[in-house]
Amino acid sequence: MADETYSGEFYCVKCKDKRKAEGNVVVNDKGTRMAKAKCPECGTNLNRILGRA
């Protein structure tokens, strides 16, 4: 699979707000696609579950 990216809204647990960010899509051990990015405000890791691969 080619390097896939996701651009959209993530929920930041530290800021307690939705943030627009762009991140890479990875597949975990269970086969679920997840987008991982950094919060543009505080730098916290962001995760968004996208569904099955």
Tens digits of per-residue pLDDT, 17-41? 999 999 999 998 989 999 999 999 9
Q: Could you tell me the two tokens for 29? A: 């051990």
Q: What total of structural domains would you count in the chain?
A: 1
> Above 60 in pLDDT, residue 2?
no
CATH of the domain at 17: 2.30.30
Query: Which residues are 23's β-sheet partners?
Result: 6
pLDDT of residue 1: 52
Closest Cα partner for 8 from 34, 42, 31, 29?
34
- Does pTM top 0.75 for this prediction? yes
Question: Domain range for residue 16?
Answer: 5-52
CB atoms under 10 Å from CB of 12, counted, come to 20
Mean pLDDT of 12-16: 92
In the chain the beta strands, taken as DSSP E runs, fall at 5-12, 17-27, 32-38, 45-52
- Cα diameter, the chain: 33
